[in-house]
Amino acid sequence: KTTDVKTFSSPSAVKLARSLASDLGDNGAGWYFNNDTSQLVMNVMTEDAAKTVEAQGAVAKIVQNSMSELKAATKTLSTDASWAGTAWSIDPVTNKVRVTADKTVTGTKWATLTKATDAMDGMVSVQRTKGEFKRFDEGDTAQPGANGGAAGAGDAAGDAAGDDAAAGGAGDAGAGDAGAGGAAAGGAGEAAGGAGEAAGGAGGGGEAAAGLVGGDAIFGGGARCSLGFNVSVDGAPGFLTAGHCGNESETWTADQAGAQALGTVQDTQFPETDFALVMYDDAATQPESAVKLADGSNQAIGRAVEASVGLKVQRSGSTTGVSDGEVTGLNATVNYGGGDIVNGLIQTNVCAEPGDSGGAMFAEDAAVGLTSGGSGDCTQGGETFFQPVTGAL
């Protein structure tokens, strides 16, 4: 007897997928959440594995490529074809490694990439992007935009993302089952629930800090970036932003002139991963645990979750405001050039532009990622990579 296929909320799908992935072991080859049907799709290698999946109400899809084979393909790409302007991630929807090359990959570089991917026939798909992969920080002479950008004016981000994630991510840099992801990285922090409730603070920079939330502009070292999430570290207030922003300056302010001091970088990680922890200078600051929405209101953030392919998300940044889309790949590698190769990222079809770096990616009340870089813009559309919050915490 075949069990009828069930529909799931995103959190319940993530919970079941993790359980099934554990049960299936090597006979599982990733999973994703189908937003159109609200169904969980599990990739499997055998008929017996398919029966196990179907008995739980999920859709079983028998595929050709095992997870170990797909991981081996990504390692080959890292060795043989990691040119500036290339990126790849495991795509459970197609059961392939999706390779993307930007407009700078031409001539010998394109020939080398094509040769490497042709040798992995049936395991890799290759696509071009019209833009150029770059980090999304910006010189501070550029003014931040009105926070209410091109897409998703206050739209809900769909189902809440997954069950609460423990700090530190889940296992094999998120690619263990190509479902729920999150890079296992160092760093410090507790829950992304922030450092307090009411916005308040004591005088000067403390007042500025107390009013900042995810997506607001921050300035340092000639760069403008965006605040990601307010956090608490051993009871002290701080915030997360992109690591390549943290590398630009040790100190950060709330204004371009540098008069409203915010905090000092305690830890910054870039490349390899891409996050920075900035501790507020005023230890009495109580910043709100929230993200700025397109209409100027704030979305409260109370937890951190791992991304899953198919998850609907929103992004808030100081250049383009709020845009939305969904997660398309996990454990992504992107080569920005100049030796800046970042691993373990979340790939999305969300747009972003320079100045949005470090800004918050979220799903309803859940923190998901920090804006790293990508290609395109919020006029033509694009794709953006995010550092998993669970890896930064």
Closest of 170, 212, 168 to residue 191, by C-alpha: 168
pLDDT tens, per residue, the chain with 393 residues: 456 999 999 889 999 999 999 999 999 999 999 999 999 999 999 999 999 999 999 999 999 999 999 999 999 999 999 999 999 999 999 999 999 999 999 999 999 999 999 999 889 999 999 899 999 998 744 566 654 443 333 333 333 333 333 333 333 333 344 554 433 333 334 444 443 333 333 334 567 777 899 999 999 999 999 999 999 999 999 999 999 999 999 999 999 999 999 999 999 999 999 999 999 999 999 999 999 999 999 999 999 999 999 999 999 999 999 999 999 999 999 999 999 999 999 999 999 999 999 999 999 999 999 999 999 999 999 999 999 999 998
Q: Active-site positions? A: 244, 274, 357
Are 10-62 and 67-128 in the same CATH fold?
A: yes
CATH number for region 133-393: 2.40.10.10
CA distances from 11 to 15, 212, 363 (A): 6, 29, 11
Tokens of 354: 């320079």
DSSP annotation of 281 reads S
Q: Does domain 67-128 have CATH number 3.30.2010?
A: no
371-239-390-345 Cα dihedral, nearest 10 degrees: 20
What distance in Å separates the CA atoms of residue 74 and residue 70, rounded to the nearest whole number? 7
Provide the residue type at 264 as one letter: T
pTM: 0.85
Give 350's contacts (C-beta < 8 A, 6+ positions apart): 313, 314, 315, 323, 324, 325, 326, 361, 383, 384
User: Domain 10-62: which topology?
Assistant: GMP Synthetase; Chain A, domain 3 (3.30.300)
Q: Where are the domains of the chain?
A: 10-62, 67-128, 133-393
CA distances from 141 to 60, 257, 259, 389 (A): 52, 10, 15, 29
Four-residue CA torsion sign, 154, 155, 159, 165: negative
**Where is 210: in which H helix or E strand?**
helix 205-211
